[in-house]
A and B are shown apart, each in its own frame.
Chain A
Amino acid sequence: MLLDWGYVAIFALVGAGMVSMPLAIIALISPRSSYPHKRETYESGMAPIGEAWSQFNVRYYLFSLIFVVFDVEIIYLYPWAVVARSLGAPAFYSIVVFLAVLVLGLAYAWRKGALEWT
């Protein structure tokens, strides 16, 4: 089993090298020139107003919050899925209870308007 992951590690390392290779090539061969506005931030031709690092809508957080909760839920379903068939009916009832509680959560989020983008 560790052998499998050794392969994956080499895949990641060699892959990172191969992805960086074109960047190394352009660092060597690409032309350089400089004039005052070259490194200006692109804002459709206007001079940029303020910084982009300003604040954004809280909606983004609400969605990612619901996402994390459901992501954790899904994690618990993976081990269930591999043994469900061999364990028979009890596996079905336990998952129905598990999901029912979470559907309550989804319904609550829906009801409270956390799923609305306003």
Chain B
Amino acid sequence: MVGEALAFYLLAAITLASGIVVVTSPNLVHSAVALVPALLGVTGLYILLNAEFLAGVQVLIYAGGITVLILFVIMLTEGATGLRVPQRNEQGPIGAAVAGAAAAVLIAVATRTPWAHGAGVLPSYTPGAIGESFLGPNLLLFEGTSVVLLVTLVGAILIARKED
């Protein structure tokens, strides 16, 4: 259990520290690259929460997919990485206040609510459990996802393609 606490604090520190770089770095590529350790930190938390399959998905889709997409777009649009223009608008203090207030409210709710502890045990083999759920009660969700993906593909291609 000491190990779990150690792992949690380590992962939380990695996630938040990289998150701070993502949010504050004046260099957009640095932001995007710092997104990777932040996402990997969250991956570690999933593992601590016994969500192995989700951890694999997180790395494959977020770190290996979305980050690459973001890096591509930065490289396509920002010649010199945006270092020559200010990256922040004039709402700095207000933004910080609003974000801080939102986080404070969430923390207050999280610490004051007596969370109920449910009964039961987590399935130890998460891919199997998720698969059974997709082919059972959540079949519609499973099939619906493919439609969402189709719409995304069509929409994004329509938008991104050069109109000739």
Contact = CB atoms under 8 A, between A and B. Distances in A.
- Is any CB of A less than 8 Å from a CB of B in the complex? yes
Interface of A: 1-2, 5-6, 9, 51, 53-58, 60-62, 64-69, 71-73, 75-76, 78-84, 87, 90-91, 94, 97-99, 101-102, 104-105, 108-109, 112-114
A64 to B, nearest CB: 5
Contacts of B65: 64, 67-68, 71-72
Contacts of B79: 51, 53-55
Given A54-B79, A65-B157, A76 B48 contact: no
Contact of B81 (A53, A79, A102): A53
Nearest to B71: A64
Is chain A's binding surface mostly helix, strand, loop or mixed? helix
A30 B73 CA distance: 38
A58 B132 CA distance: 40
Is chain B's binding surface mostly helix, strand, loop or mixed? helix
Q: Which of the four size classes fits the interface of chain B?
A: 35 or more
A94 B69 contact: no
Contact of B60 (A56, A58, A62, A75): A75
A98 B146 contact: yes
Contacts of A75: 57, 60-61
